[in-house]
Structure 1
């Protein structure tokens, strides 16, 4: 493996270590022992859940290709996953609010384990079933766990600021450290032990089973809407009404869809982008490098969220612009760097430049997750949290399905350029969200009950 990969990985590791070791008391939040116990339990579960997810990530595309499927067929399998998430996501989100977030989290484990088992079959139909199950599981992963955490955090009376600490730690560990270990462990199983590309999926199922046991034994149940008489249709209407009546929620949903749509498109594109001529690239090691970059981003986010300024709505504008520039690199290099016509071999010079850009994008992803979680906890009403969060995923999944359906019709540079444009639009919407939030806050302060009572008590006070 080329020294270039080790240099990039080592450089990122040194920066992350430096940031973590240089944290001062101003960058830390003082908490209680009860909260720390609660937080550590959630971090353990979240890390196990993400280990099950990250172990699969680098090898999904590779596994399908070893079964003899082409780019178009693989794209259709990916479409099945995102389409499933779109069709069933809102339903499972509403069921999570109604039937309980703990039950939904257990359902995630069972569904994803079944999805892993299907990877042993080279039959297209079986793999398609696995993608459908995986889509349902993904909807639960990105709604049920966060909804359980926010509700349980508030139910136990912990301070609101402590929630951002849990978010940043969860991304640092689950989307950073665990992802790195998962990437290296997957590389070890596939390359060093030569167990084949299906081995990481078996390991993922084991971690998911362990996490499910922890959830069953240590989590209490919580719900969204306390009314048991409201059916799913009523929950859908209430969630849609909340989004339509509150511009902040609608903007937040649009921002999330634009960013995550670009991110999931990137997940599909990075492998062919770095090996356009079938270059021999270490998938697991590169994936671990990406996750280290994401870990760097979450470390930066933890510092930003520990302070009242700059506000999350403010600095995320810059993050979206940087991520837009990072995904524009494949387009730029296609014009400035002559393509290599040699099949196989090591990564090209253009690939090296793109890899650096992709690491920058992953750092932005690391900042994005705890920051969007913080904004969701502020703006989304608790009674329909899972339902609304999965409503956000509908346009996201439509976008990704359209991209993957046309993956053979458009050059890769066009798709990267499109993602870059969407990320820039997200920065514009983020600015609008900041302005709307400030206006709403000023109006709330102007018409606060305290001022109204003072005005009524003092007739001379206008």
Structure 2
């Protein structure tokens, strides 16, 4: 079994390396040195922020269990985090638009560091406070940094297409390479050095502090709507009106909620799916393989977005369909290979097939993030960007809380089937988004053709 994962991991690594090294001029966007310096600064900051997040993920449940809490209590702590993100997300997003995205990014660092510090306490109330702070930080992470990037990119006069370069690289490094390195580093701290399960949280605090120092020293401030006449409630209403009045924004929010809801459900389901009888499986190596699949997807996305002839609205339909099919594999394998109730020494053959499908889903995740960022930069108005982006997370967090609360009520196959349906619906909504975007494209009136010919034949005399 270890040989299978080693070979599969190596296979994906070779593909990722080949994709990156084989990029031709058609796959690259020519930029300027000023833009590259701006992009690299953002990538360093974003990677540090994601390192602070990824270091915590694998050890949250484990830390709570070492403090003696059961599955029910731990579930309530997780629900508190998602619920906090849902309740406070729109508020902090509006504050980011109003008070400044740079200030909101610094607030993310401070909030998440405080959340990490609460992990040193074994008191349930302190841990609950930490989860609430973590939920607020997650909302800031998913809105303020991207909002700052888009606004600053436009303010500096860079070409719109260059955003796709930053988006794809941010996902490649932040959600791929950094995730893998964070998992290995966390394993080094906890297992190899024996520093205990709280050590990754302390390391996360250090990375967040370094990132905050870079933000404060090199980032300029930008705002969504600096008007003093617009208070928080007015801005909140404005974002709601923008979503209700523009079908493209509403569709984009629905697509994001459906995909991310399925993604977070997958995060909770892949372990019991691969070890239904509590088999010993290499969790860390599987996680690293998933992240490598995500890197593969982001690398592929950079190629797609570099070509002006390929539209993001078009290829994302295929991505959603492929992701929907990939999460059907647990259902298909349950029919082809009857599940055993006897604990085996390692993962079953059906589990190996599911790993391939799950890596395919993670590759779709790698394509989804930069592509979603590109669509948000096109369709979401600048003045309420952070507010609207956090609006999208309200149905997502409700969905995840419901799933967590009822995770033992339904068989795993039913849960995967539900996610597959949601992803297929996302494909249909993406189709609708493309149709609307095409219908609203400015067209050249037929009568202009003759006028253009006349102007070319008889140029204006400007003397």
TM bin (shorter chain): over 0.9
Alpha-carbon separation, structure 2, partners of 1:338 and 1:33: 58
Deviations 1:144-194, CA, capped at 9 Å, x for gaps: 000000000000000111111110111111111111111111222222223
Cα distance, 1:128–1:68 mapped onto 2, change above 3 Å = same
Count of matched residue positions in the alignment of Structure 1 and Structure 2: 453
> What is the Cα deviation at residue 414 of structure 1?
1.4
SS, match of residue 45 in structure 2:
helix
Q: Find the counterpart in structure 2 of residue 220 from structure 1.
A: 220
Q: Find the counterpart in structure 1 of residue 117 from structure 2.
A: 117
Q: Is 1:269 the counterpart of 2:269 in the alignment?
A: yes
Q: Find the counterpart in structure 1 of residue 106 from structure 2.
A: 106
Report 1:186-335 matches (<5 A). 186-335=186-335
> What is the Cα deviation at residue 288 of structure 1?
1.5
Alpha-carbon separation, structure 2, partners of 1:202 and 1:350: 38
Question: Are the aligned partners of 1:186 and 1:284 in contact in 2 as well (CA < 8 Å)?
Answer: no
Alpha-carbon separation, structure 1, partners of 2:352 and 2:363: 17
Report 1:33-112 matches (<5 A). 33-112=33-112
Alpha-carbon separation, structure 2, partners of 1:274 and 1:374: 34
Deviations 1:426-451, CA, capped at 9 Å, x for gaps: 0000000000000011xx33589x96
Normalised by the length of structure 2, the TM-score is 0.94
SS, match of residue 31 in structure 2:
coil
Q: Is 1:434 the counterpart of 2:434 in the alignment?
A: yes
Q: Find the counterpart in structure 1 of residue 6 from structure 2.
A: 6
Alpha-carbon separation, structure 2, partners of 1:177 and 1:112: 21
Q: Find the counterpart in structure 2 of residue 185 from structure 1.
A: 185
Alpha-carbon separation, structure 1, partners of 2:358 and 2:69: 26
> What is the Cα deviation at residue 356 of structure 1?
1.5
Normalised by the length of structure 1, the TM-score is 0.94
Structure 1: state its 5+ residue gaps.
Answer: none
Deviations 1:75-95, CA, capped at 9 Å, x for gaps: 322211111011000000000
Cα distance, 1:425–1:313 mapped onto 2, change above 3 Å = same
Q: Is 1:340 the counterpart of 2:340 in the alignment?
A: yes
Structure 1 segments, 4+ long, off by >6 Å, are: none
> What is the Cα deviation at residue 280 of structure 1?
2.0
SS, match of residue 120 in structure 2:
coil
Cα distance, 1:204–1:143 mapped onto 2, change above 3 Å = same
SS, match of residue 409 in structure 1:
coil
SS, match of residue 358 in structure 2:
helix
Comparing 350-359 with 150-159, greater Cα deviation is found at 350-359
Question: Are the aligned partners of 1:121 and 1:127 in contact in 2 as well (CA < 8 Å)?
Answer: yes
Structure 2: state its 5+ residue gaps.
Answer: 456-463
> What is the Cα deviation at residue 245 of structure 1?
0.6
Question: Are the aligned partners of 2:99 and 2:226 in contact in 1 as well (CA < 8 Å)?
Answer: no
Alpha-carbon separation, structure 1, partners of 2:264 and 2:148: 24
Alpha-carbon separation, structure 2, partners of 1:270 and 1:71: 17
Comparing 130-139 with 277-286, greater Cα deviation is found at 277-286
Alpha-carbon separation, structure 2, partners of 1:45 and 1:87: 27
Cα distance, 1:228–1:132 mapped onto 2, change above 3 Å = same
Q: Find the counterpart in structure 1 of residue 391 from structure 2.
A: 391
Q: CA RMSD in A?
A: 2.1
Question: Are the aligned partners of 1:187 and 1:283 in contact in 2 as well (CA < 8 Å)?
Answer: no
Cα distance, 1:174–1:309 mapped onto 2, change above 3 Å = same
Q: Is 1:15 the counterpart of 2:11 in the alignment?
A: no
Alpha-carbon separation, structure 1, partners of 2:348 and 2:67: 27
SS, match of residue 238 in structure 1:
helix
> What is the Cα deviation at residue 328 of structure 1?
1.5
Q: Find the counterpart in structure 2 of residue 127 from structure 1.
A: 127
Alpha-carbon separation, structure 1, partners of 2:274 and 2:124: 26
Cα distance, 1:368–1:87 mapped onto 2, change above 3 Å = same
Alpha-carbon separation, structure 1, partners of 2:135 and 2:350: 33
Alpha-carbon separation, structure 2, partners of 1:125 and 1:337: 45
